[in-house]
Homo-oligomer: A and B are copies of this chain.
Amino acid sequence: MKKAAIIGGTGYGAIELIRLLQTHPKLEVAKVISHSQSGEVLSSIYPHLKNLPEIRLEELDISSLEAEVDVVFLATPAGVAKEIVPELQNKNLQIIDLSGDLRLSSREDYEEWYGKSAAPQETLNQAVYGLSEIYKEEIQSATIISNPGCFPTASLLGLIPALELGNIKPTGIVIDGKTGVSGAGRTPTAATHFSETNDNVSPYKIGKHQHIPEIEQYLSKAVDADVTTILTTHLIPMTRGLICTMYADLNQETTTEEVIKSYQSYYENKPFIRILPEGQFPQTKAVQGSNYCDIGVWVNERSNQLIIAAAIDNLVKGASGQAIQNVNIMNGWEENLGLQAIPMYP
């Protein structure tokens, strides 16, 4: 049984890792680290964890990590992993960072979009982008994984096949994203206040979301050309769930049926990608609590556009589930080990 530590133990990413790892046959949670609430018992913060083996939050201690665990997950806010990972690397630890600190290859981009100084180049060079279905080979030999953001996960899984296969133009791609409120994290703010959020939809970032450079970087990488997109994110009155509806210009005429076939083929043997039949579109509820990404496509002949919809659970495939999927790949285990749960419906 390999042992994992979770740094940033009081956020939703952390407790979702704890939930998912509970039934993992080869990886168990050995340490949960929280600087702000070190010493507390996690179930006093999260009553749903009551009666489970007591988890006492600890301070970060690099040497004990090295000695006691095999895998380190960082479920920390932006700006923290870039400080900690350099201290952990080259120490015989498998490191998975769930934040955005290591996703952008350009340090200038990170500084521009995140407003903080970037991680050291050496760390960025070692980090492999953990989009499991696309970069499986690289992940297999990685020691540091930069786990993708939630909107990028859905967008990239939805767009990369059509781009790589030359179906769509790499310019003018529109990504309209909708997310449940858990994507905003645990800190109470005016934006996540129930009375203001319930029964309300609003775009909260247009053109400025930190996921834009990430999406563009990996779309560009997929076709070895500059890809620009627009991403608008909307907050939806639901707890979990994320769906991106994407619009791209087709390069040539095609049919929905052909595109579906190409997606099925592209994602053959990828246990977590489900391509829906013609006329069916993803629902966030159909993947709730699971690591699935449901994708539906539609050729709009009237405007010669391809519409792609991709739905995930933002906390699972959009964060903690994909992180565990990457650990499975890194260790040569079956990709879906511990992640086979059927979505919770209704």
How far in angstroms is the closest Cβ of chain B from A203? 5
How far in angstroms is the closest Cβ of chain B from A75? 14
Q: How far is the CA of A74 from the CA of B301 in the complex (A)?
A: 34
Give the segment of A103-111, A136-144, A160-168, A225-233 that binds chain B: A225-233
Interface size on A, residues (CB 8 A): 89
Q: Which residues of B lie under 8 Å from residue A292 when comparing CB positions?
A: 51
A276 touching B50 by the CB < 8 A rule?
yes
Q: Within 8 Å of chain B (Cβ to Cβ): is A23?
A: yes
- Supposing A19-B345, A230-B303, A276-B47 touch, asked if A284 and B241 sit within 8 A by C-beta, the answer is no
B307 touching A207 by the CB < 8 A rule?
yes
Q: Mark A321-346, 1 if CB is under 8 A from B, else 0.
A: 00000000000000000001111111
How far in angstroms is the closest Cβ of chain B from A47? 5
A309 touching B206 by the CB < 8 A rule?
yes
Q: How far is the CA of A9 from the CA of B47 in the complex (A)?
A: 34
CB nearest to A272 among chain B residues: B51
- Supposing A192-B188, A198-B181, A237-B194 touch, asked if A206 and B346 sit within 8 A by C-beta, the answer is no
- 26 A-B pairs with CB atoms under 8 Å apart are A12-B346, A15-B345, A19-B345, A22-B340, A23-B23, A47-B276, A48-B345, A172-B249, A172-B305, A174-B174, A188-B189, A188-B193, A194-B197, A198-B239, A198-B346, A199-B238, A201-B236, A202-B281, A202-B282, A202-B283, A203-B309, A206-B281, A229-B303, A230-B307, A234-B245, A237-B237
- Supposing A180-B199, A195-B12, A207-B307 touch, asked if A47 and B288 sit within 8 A by C-beta, the answer is no
Q: Within 8 Å of chain B (Cβ to Cβ): is A190?
A: yes
Q: Which residues of B lie under 8 Å from residue A178 when comparing CB positions?
A: 178, 201, 234, 236
Q: Within 8 Å of chain B (Cβ to Cβ): is A286?
A: yes
Q: Within 8 Å of chain B (Cβ to Cβ): is A151?
A: no
Q: Within 8 Å of chain B (Cβ to Cβ): is A204?
A: yes
Residue numbers of A with Cβ under 8 A of B are 12, 15, 18-19, 22-23, 46-52, 171-172, 174, 176, 178, 180-182, 184, 186, 188-190, 192-204, 206-207, 212, 228-230, 232, 234, 236-241, 243, 245, 247, 249, 271, 274, 276, 280-290, 292, 294, 296, 298, 300, 302-303, 305, 307, 309, 311, 340-346
Number of chain copies forming the complex: 4
B305 touching A182 by the CB < 8 A rule?
no
| In-complex Cβ contact of A204 among B172, B281, B287 (8 A) | B281
B199 touching A288 by the CB < 8 A rule?
yes
A303 touching B237 by the CB < 8 A rule?
no
| In-complex Cβ contact of A240 among B305, B343, B346 (8 A) | B346
A188 touching B190 by the CB < 8 A rule?
yes
How far in angstroms is the closest Cβ of chain B from A37? 13
Q: Which residues of B lie under 8 Å from residue A294 when comparing CB positions?
A: 47, 50
| In-complex Cβ contact of A284 among B184, B200, B285, B341 (8 A) | B200
Q: How far is the CA of A284 from the CA of B87 in the complex (A)?
A: 41
